[in-house]
Amino acid sequence: MDAPRDFDAAVLIVGAGPVGLVAAMDLSRRGIASIVVETRHVGEPPPVKCNHVAARSMEIFRRLGVARAVRAAGLPGDYPSDVVFLTTSTGQEIGRIPIPSRAERALPPSDYFPDSGWPTVEPPHRINQIYLEPVLFEHARKQPGVTILNRARLERFAQDADGVSGEVVGLDDGVRRTIRARYMIAADGGRSGVRKQLGIRLTGNAEISRYLSTHIRAPSLLGLMGGRRPGWMNHAVNPRRTGNAVAIDGKVEWLVHAHLKGDEKDFDAIDRDRAIRDVLGVDDDFEYEVLGKEDWIARRLVAERFREGRVFLAGDAAHIWIPVAGYGMNAGIADVTNLTFMLAARLNGWGSQDMLDAYELERHPITDQLSRFVGGLGQKLAKDRAGYGPELAAQGPEGDAARAALGRYLVEQNTPQYCCEGLNFAYFYDNSPLVTYDGEAAPAYSLGSYTPSSVPGARLPFFRMEDGNPVHDRLGDDYTLLRFDPSLDVSALLAGAAQAGVPVQLLDVDRVLAPDTIRHGLLVVRSDQQIAWRGDALPVDPAGLVAKLAGFDANAFARHRAAHRAALLDKAG
């Protein structure tokens, strides 16, 4: 795998967190070389923040060949992923959202679990980022064309008509070097230096709530939770201090979030030890070790734009979400696999320059919409917490009734965020230059609700092929033409795509395998599972459809096709 002439790599990636590593892996799979710049040492763990890999991210990991390794890491196989609401983490249980352990995921679907039986073979997985990142790093560094520079920082960059030049300094030796690439992806987090150098502002809600977060080692905590089924997320609901304790290793390590009250603005004024004990419900004799701590403000901020020339923002560099629904990192993974598809099309010679505009046109509206979903729920939950009164701690029938009512309410309000089928599968692109729309609107959705649809821009509805494997496993690296009626002649489309170098793979599917939501005989589907076109016969102008898939207008496509033909003739000698 070679970098373009006069370039060190085709793509420079800033940041080797999950988003940057996934970008490098997917580019490698598409034959594109990249250099990843990361300030941390090799193996240096990230903060214990992200605890949830969404189903769509697991599907992406499956395509990258790393899903099995990711699923084998994290919580022990028999440790439940339940979300539990209690008076304190060791106190009285008042509500529960049951979510399967890894072992229970292997069993037949059960109505007991709200997220059981989703339309995927890769359900969500609970794993903290300290366990996820090493798996992704080891896989990424072994891929052809991937170079990871640890203990290196991008100091500044400049772009021109042909590429991006980044000045990188070694943090241990001070050596400076210039890395030249065709494009750059900023996956450098919420404090993105790239975004700041570009002068791109964040807009939205600058503050929703405040948290004291402490990573602790507490060998006796699990035993104090009693003989009940353990919880992954243990929410403490009491008038003294609300928060939660997240199981990190299912044994002795926990991440304790303490919510600050509305009038508490100064982190340093809060007694951290007292806040932790109030959340956990333990006395002063309880022993624990602080492994790390971080004080932070939950926000809902989205960058005004995701692109400046040859530089693209992804992940937290493009959007900062309150961790409702645990989707921040997962949105970043969706960002970069959308982007790498388009970058590879351009770098491999079949996608137009205008095709790259689709990244922002697709991802920015979805990011804004989904962030409003989770931000709105986060604001509501914060408002609810402010109303918790002394009746929750009262003894007797009055206290029992108050706790029972709150427990039912919390389960109802929170099930959509912890079992977020809509957030995973229902979003659609309704303004993409790469999608041919036919006037039918995609179904409405919410965090927890999803209606499968074959409307262009939506996700291909899930179904299994003859061998029992999901149709998504059979999709090509770029575009796949699904034919549900073998009598339909598609030769003109396939020939037109081949003449322009646009990769379109034919997949014949027995109609009886397809769900009723697929009503047309033909679908063109992208590698990210989004539908680009549908019909019961080829369009009158198949070349026009090919041009749209590659982001060309008619005149530009004619020139591209002629140039591609000339290149093939020249290569043939």
Structural domain boundaries in the chain: 9-75+124-202+304-374, 426-573
Q: Minimal CA–CA distance to 192: which of 136, 150, 153, 152?
A: 153
Instruction: Record the pTM.
Output: 0.96
Q: Report d(CA 250, CA 74) in Å as an integer.
A: 9
Would you write out the chain's pLDDT as a tens digit for each of its 573 residues?
A: 555 558 999 999 999 999 999 999 999 999 999 999 999 999 898 888 889 999 999 999 999 999 999 999 999 999 999 999 999 999 999 999 999 999 999 999 999 999 999 999 999 999 999 999 999 999 999 999 999 999 999 999 999 999 999 999 999 999 999 999 999 999 999 999 999 999 999 999 999 999 999 999 999 999 999 889 999 999 999 999 999 999 999 999 999 999 999 899 999 999 999 999 999 999 999 999 999 999 999 899 999 999 999 999 999 999 998 877 678 899 999 999 999 999 999 999 999 999 999 999 999 999 998 888 888 888 888 888 888 888 888 899 999 999 999 999 999 999 999 999 999 999 999 999 999 999 999 999 998 999 999 999 999 999 999 999 999 999 999 999 999 999 999 999 999 999 999 999 999 999 999 999 999 999 999 999 999 999 999 999 999 999 999 999 999 999 999 999 988 888 776
The CA-CA-CA angle for residues 459, 67, 39, to 5°, reads 100
Q: Report d(CA 284, CA 88) in Å as an integer.
A: 15
The CA-CA-CA angle for residues 330, 332, 334, to 5°, reads 75
Q: Report d(CA 218, CA 246) in Å as an integer.
A: 12
Q: Report d(CA 454, CA 437) in Å as an integer.
A: 11
CB atoms within 10 A of CB 466: 9
* 36-57 per-position pLDDT tens digit: 999 999 989 888 888 999 999 9
The CA-CA-CA angle for residues 224, 227, 232, to 5°, reads 75
Radius of gyration of the chain from Cα atoms? Answer: 25
DSSP string, 85-141: EESSTTS-EEEEE----HHHHTSPP-TTSTTTT-SSSS--EE--HHHHHHHHHHHHH
Which position has the token pair 């967190």? 17
CA quadruple 106, 109, 114, 117: dihedral sign: positive
50 exposure class (CB count in 10 Å sphere: 0-12, 13-18, 19+): buried
Given its phi and psi angles, is residue 204 left (phi above 0), alpha (psi -120 to 50 degrees) or beta?
Answer: left
Phi, psi dihedral angles at 183 (to 5 degrees):
-140, 165
Phi, psi dihedral angles at 310 (to 5 degrees):
-95, 10
**Which fold is adopted by the domain 426-573?**
Glutaredoxin (3.40.30)
Q: Report d(CA 381, CA 385) in Å as an integer.
A: 6
Per DSSP bridges, beta strands 164-170 and 176-186 are: antiparallel
CATH number for the domain formed by residue range(s) 9-75+124-202+304-374: 3.50.50.60
Q: Minimal CA–CA distance to 148: which of 12, 312, 45, 338?
A: 12
Phi, psi dihedral angles at 419 (to 5 degrees):
-125, 65
Which helix (H) or strand (E) segment is 59 a member of? helix 55-64
